[in-house]
């Protein structure tokens, strides 16, 4: 379903109103229950938030990567847990199967993502391992099946998923990248168990839990790509997702800036609004500069992605700069708001919640240290040359 430019602009406005209206309102209950109500899923389906990013052949809008990211910026202005869920729906939820699934699996499942008939979480992280290739969950071949044993931790969306993209070791004695493989696993498979975890500081409702697999038998048809491609699948998928995390930070930072300016205009001290004081003006200018730079970096990434370029380095740079940006902006916001920004139900908006929610981004899909290493590899390979495509 192709949209005209005006239809797309109208859609962006509608999603912003949804994020800052009904989503913000229902989040008050979610902060306590840590569970999304069914009304959230209903509104997300009605507003095409499971299908807008899909290719047209699967019932989606057929948007460019830049347009997808622009939509995500709008819903990222809302609650962090919902942002996490919808960001995943716009990216990893369907993209891994589309990129690496067999034609049989794609024919069976791809058109079911558009209305959340199915939803798939992504399981890589383990308690006993580090980032990336340090995986100890094993899959042993047994005829037409793989027998999987192990555990995953800090996995999002476990309470609403039908499948799991599962990264495992199929050659645990090897130290090569080809030791890992990826599977598309039905959560109802015998031996699949969800292990509850405590509530997080922010991003409430995103269904974080551990996963445990005990002699879980998965048919070979659910292998993604080929055996030994697990690390490649994980790293490629995370590279794209890191840019989506960056635009999540952008959406939050933009809303924080707007709330900060409104507060600075209203707050009067010694007969003068804060907005008239040079120290406040300089802080707000720094906030806006960081946000503007981040947005342009993300759009540059999107241009490269749509052109089929290698995007790993720029995606890492986007996420790295986005963490720095949202850290700077959120700290400045709270300082300018003063004490009322530290309370729940602030009259200006969810200042305290935004401050908590954005801190999940320090860690989601790799901290700053990992992004720096990824960016360095690209810079070393290019000799420091960063290419930009012409418009």
Please provide the distance, in angstroms rounded to a whole number, between the alpha carbons at the two ends of the chain. Answer: 25
Residue with tokens 């609403």: 160
Buried b / exposed e along 240-259 (16+ C-beta atoms within 10 A)? bbbbbbbbbbbbbbbbbbeb
Quick one: pLDDT at residue 16? 98
Residues of the chain with CATH 1.10.540.10: 5-112
What is the number of residues in the chain? 391
Treating both helix axes as pointing N-terminal to C-terminal, what angle do 80-89 and 92-100 enclose, rounded to 10 degrees?
20
Beta strand residue intervals within 36-179, DSSP E: 120-123, 138-142, 145-155, 163-169
Tokens of 190: 């015998």
**Whole-number pLDDT of residue 286:** 98
CB atoms within 10 A of CB 42: 11
* pTM for the full predicted model: 0.94
The SS3 of residue 104 is helix
Question: 120-227 adopts what CATH topology?
Answer: Butyryl-CoA Dehydrogenase, subunit A; domain 2 (2.40.110)
- pLDDT at position 131, please? 64
How far is Cα 160 from Cα 118, in angstroms, rounded to an integer? Answer: 9
Cα separations in angstroms, 84 against 57, 134, 161: 25, 24, 14
| 231-382: CATH class | mainly alpha
Question: What residue spans in the chain does CATH classification 2.40.110.10 cover?
Answer: 120-227
Task: Give the per-residue pLDDT at 178.
Answer: 87
Closest CA to 206 of 83, 57, 32: 83
Q: What angle do CA 269, 273, 276 make, to 5 degrees?
A: 120
CATH 1.20.140.10 residue spans of the chain: 231-382
Q: With contact defined as beta carbons under 8 Å apart, do 158 and 207 qualify? A: yes
Q: How far is CA 302 from CA 51, 297, 306, in A?
A: 19, 9, 6
Q: What is the pLDDT along the chain (391 residues), one digit of tens a residue?
A: 678 999 999 999 999 999 999 999 999 999 999 999 999 999 999 999 999 999 999 999 999 999 999 999 999 999 999 999 999 999 999 999 999 999 999 999 999 999 999 999 999 999 887 666 789 999 999 999 999 999 999 999 999 999 999 999 998 877 777 899 999 999 999 999 999 999 889 889 999 999 999 999 999 999 999 999 999 999 888 888 899 999 999 999 999 999 999 999 999 999 999 999 999 999 999 999 999 999 999 999 999 999 999 999 999 999 999 999 999 999 999 999 999 999 988 999 999 999 999 999 888 777 898 899 999 999 999 999 999 988 7
**Dihedral through CA 136, CA 92, CA 86, CA 162, nearest 10?**
-70
The label of the residue with tokens 């709008």 reads 74
* Burial of 271 (C-beta count, 10 Å sphere; 0-12/13-18/19+): exposed
| Residues 6 or more apart in contact with residue 46 via CB below 8 angstroms | none
Cα 40 → chain centroid: 18
Please tell me the predicted confidence (pLDDT) of residue 389.
Answer: 87
- 117, 58 Cβ separation under 8 angstroms: no
Q: Where are the beta strands (DSSP E) in 176-273?
A: 180-186, 192-196, 209-219, 223-224, 268-269, 272-273
CA of residue 136 relative to chain centroid, distance: 24
Only one residue has tokens 């730079």, namely 293
Reply yes or no on domain 5-112 having CATH 1.10.540.10.
yes
Strand runs (DSSP E) across 5-96, as ranges? Answer: none
């Amino acid at each position: 379903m192709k949209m005209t430019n005006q239809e797309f602009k109208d859609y962006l406005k509608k999603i912003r109103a949804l994020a800052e209206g009904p989503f913000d309102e229902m989040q008050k209950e979610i902060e306590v229950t840590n569970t999304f109500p069914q009304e959230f899923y209903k509104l997300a389906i009605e507003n095409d938030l499971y299908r807008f990013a899909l290719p047209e052949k699967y019932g989606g809008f057929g948007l460019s990567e830049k347009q997808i990211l622009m939509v995500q910026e709008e819903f990222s202005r809302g609650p962090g847990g919902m942002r996490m869920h919808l960001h995943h729906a716009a990216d990893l939820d369907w993209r891994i199967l589309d990129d690496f699934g067999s034609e049989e699996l794609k024919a069976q499942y791809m058109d079911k993502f558009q209305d959340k008939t199915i939803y798939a979480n992504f399981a890589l992280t383990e308690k006993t391992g580090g980032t990336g290739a340090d995986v100890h969950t094993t899959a042993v071949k047994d005829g037409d099946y793989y027998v999987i044993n192990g555990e995953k931790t800090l996995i999002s969306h476990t309470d609403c998923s039908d499948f799991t993209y599962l990264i495992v070791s199929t050659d645990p004695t090897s130290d090569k990248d080809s030791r890992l493989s990826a599977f598309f696993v039905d959560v109802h498979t015998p031996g699949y168990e969800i292990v509850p975890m405590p509530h997080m500081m922010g991003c409430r409702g995103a269904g974080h839990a551990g996963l445990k697999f005990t002699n879980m038998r998965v048919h070979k048809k659910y292998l993604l790509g080929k055996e030994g491609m697990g690390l490649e699948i994980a790293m490629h998928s995370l590279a794209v997702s890191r840019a989506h995390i960056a635009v999540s930070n952008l959406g939050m930072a933009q809303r924080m800036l707007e709330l900060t300016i409104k507060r600075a205009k209203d707050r009067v001290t010694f007969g003068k609004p804060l907005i008239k004081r040079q120290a406040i003006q300089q802080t707000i200018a720094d906030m806006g500069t960081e946000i503007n730079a981040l947005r342009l970096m993300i759009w540059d990434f999107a241009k490269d992605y749509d052109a089929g370029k290698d995007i790993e380095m720029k995606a890492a740079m986007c996420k790295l700069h986005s963490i720095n940006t949202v850290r700077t902006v959120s700290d400045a916001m709270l300082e300018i708001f003063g004490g009322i920004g530290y309370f729940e139900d602030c009259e200006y908006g969810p200042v305290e919640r935004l401050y908590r929610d954005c801190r999940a981004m320090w860690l989601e899909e790799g901290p700053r240290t990992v992004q720096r290493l990824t960016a360095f590899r690209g810079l070393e390979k290019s000799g420091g040359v960063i290419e930009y495509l012409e418009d």
